[in-house]
A and B are shown apart, each in its own frame.
Chain A
């Protein structure tokens, strides 16, 4: 592999039902700064059937948009997505490709990396360019989030990484930007003989997708029982927030696994994370410690959660949370 043949930064945008998803703009933000550091073009791949507003992708920082257009890409299937992306990479030869650490990105990127025999670093929290080597530096939590590791892919291309949704702001819109939109048609190659998408079922208990939420209110064993856990849900409702939970709360059946945050659950980094009755064991911290602002409510002043909190209230959740709910409601009604 001649690494010099590869040039440019590509991000893998995402669409849902033909609408560009916000994570695309976050990727463009990351991608733009890497492309500028390297002095190369930024392109965005969008896989899907009909997709609205490809022009928006240009206004948000892409120099080129490649829309791989096919009805076989309307919903996510690993086979067609992988073949489309491998083909596109072989044609356009980007030196770096970045995707979101969504269920789609986290599935298709390893498949593509394995096909191309190149390296992939998952869930990077920080990406940079080594100015001397002109190489991508990928930083991610290692060993449950207590150590950070910086990783590079020296000999193979493209250099591949996923970054967590909500870990950057969306790129700002610049009306004066111009760029090129190319539609790629890969025909029958994308038909899958071994996979069939049946249906999508929305999960009402996941109404606020916690990984997309700006605010998460999370509860732990300190809430005592299912009834107590409802306090957390009510606080979330008042704040328009998502509901998170520790493994213990999930195992006790107070809420479903899709709300579990931590090493064996989801990783989140919302603008605000409120931890109620959570001790802050490393496995839980691994899933939330990169949140922008952390508020902890716990009756034990020595609880480890306070070490990562920006604002801590030592107190009984059953006193503090209802008062907080009242205060927020008053704020809303302007009373």
Chain B
């Protein structure tokens, strides 16, 4: 069974500092991480590798050269190999253009049985790349998956939806996007780290996946960002101190009453 995991390198937002004047994030860049949900996708692939025979796990990432670190880390965690899609021509891709690049790369790796993605990335936060890749490959997709079982030519998934779970069965090849609850990601091992140093990770540019400049980057992207601005973060806050809890609570109840939230 060939499994591809799509991983994206994102800013490690834990130490995000806010610029108090502009309200924007100050990025340092050097503390990039694997998108947390993609680690869950990878862990699910590794779980299958542990429980089934003949499973190969390949991670694929499109990004700047620094994304090589994410791929090596994935290998250190247990992936067999990886592909980095990198090149200036890819820059500025929106989700459609990104999905075009990723699906073209996956086609080159065919036959693939299962593609795993995170439900969304913490930077773009669109949560649409996975489904778009599936559409371009013309294979079934299941989103918001919190449980996955592989059967004979099929997979059965549990999807987290409004008010409960859905169980759905799809034929493979299929693409699945996972939510955090699916598993607990593991850590790189020492042996893995050593292997990661050895493994050659090919870097593919547009021509390697058979794409022309018009299909990728900004040119290949149907959407355009026209404006970026800072929202007003602070509201006009009414503050109460703990030395007078009773008063604070009656004021709060009046306040909520005046806003017609509680009656």
Contact = CB atoms under 8 A, between A and B. Distances in A.
Interface of A: 75-79, 82, 102-104, 106-107, 109-111, 113-115, 117-123, 137, 141-156, 193-203, 206, 209, 211-212, 215, 239, 256-258, 260, 263-265, 271-272, 282-283, 285-286, 289, 293-295, 299, 301, 306-316, 319-320, 323-324, 327-328, 331
B29 interface: no
A152 B141 contact: no
A122 B237 contact: no
B224 interface: yes
A120 B95 contact: yes
Given A212-B162, A307-B233, A309-B237, A110 B242 contact: no
A263 B141 contact: no
B180 A319 contact: no
A160 B231 CA distance: 23
B229 A147 contact: yes
Interface in B61-96: 94-96
Contacts of A315: 240-242, 245, 248
B100 to A, nearest CB: 9
Interface residues of B, number: 84
B210 interface: no
Interface string B217-247: 0000111111111110111111111100110
Q: Would you call the interface of chain A mostly helix, strand, loop, or mixed?
A: mixed
Contact of A211 (B162, B230, B236): B162
B154 to A, nearest CB: 9
**Residue in A78, A117, A151, A209 with the greatest tally of chain B CB atoms within 10 Å:** A78
Contacts of A316: 242
A239 B236 CA distance: 24
Nearest to A270: B261
Contacts of B239: 301, 306, 312-314
B216 interface: no
B168 A77 contact: yes
A201 B160 CA distance: 10
Q: Would you call the interface of chain B mostly helix, strand, loop, or mixed?
A: mixed
Which 7 A-B pairs have CB atoms at the shortest separation, nearest pair first?
A: A315-B242, A119-B222, A114-B135, A110-B128, A119-B223, A110-B131, A257-B181
8 contacts: A110-B130, A113-B96, A146-B25, A282-B25, A301-B241, A309-B237, A320-B248, A324-B249
B196 interface: no
Contact of B237 (A144, A211, A312): A312
A311 B13 contact: no
B237 A311 contact: yes
Contact of B132 (A114, A206, A323): A114
A212 B171 CA distance: 33
A24 B164 CA distance: 20
Interface in B101-151: 122-132, 134-136, 139-144, 146
Contact of B128 (A104, A113, A311): A113
A111 B122 contact: no
A154 B241 CA distance: 52
Contacts of A212: 162
B166 interface: yes
A122 B228 CA distance: 16
Contacts of A271: 261
Given A146-B24, A199-B167, A201-B165, A141 B125 contact: yes
